[in-house]
Amino acid sequence: MREQIFLELGFEKTVVTAEESGAPTDWHYYTLDIGDLCLITSSSDEIKDDTWYCYFFESNQFKIKNETDLKDLVEVLRRCWK
């Protein structure tokens, strides 16, 4: 997935500085809360070839790697939450 899809779907970007994390450079990730569920992305320092993925916070067993699947999932979760 491209990073842009997270912005289009309303994910919030969190930047972690090198000073905060002890990593050699700053990095970032995205989250989206829908009800009591949280979707979180891989972090920018893990990305290779602009291939991002997303999963439910505290459960990385369900990795979402396809933009269409992510859009559909977010749509269903938002519709069910209302």
pLDDT per residue as tens digits for the range 40-72: 999 999 898 889 999 999 887 889 999 999 999
Q: Quick one: pLDDT at residue 50?
A: 83
The pTM assigned to this predicted structure is 0.89
Are 40 and 34 contacting, i.e. CB atoms less than 8 angstroms apart? no
Distance CA 22, CA 32 (A): 25
Q: Quick one: pLDDT at residue 27?
A: 96
Q: Quick one: pLDDT at residue 62?
A: 87
Q: Quick one: pLDDT at residue 10?
A: 97
Summary mean pLDDT of the chain: 93
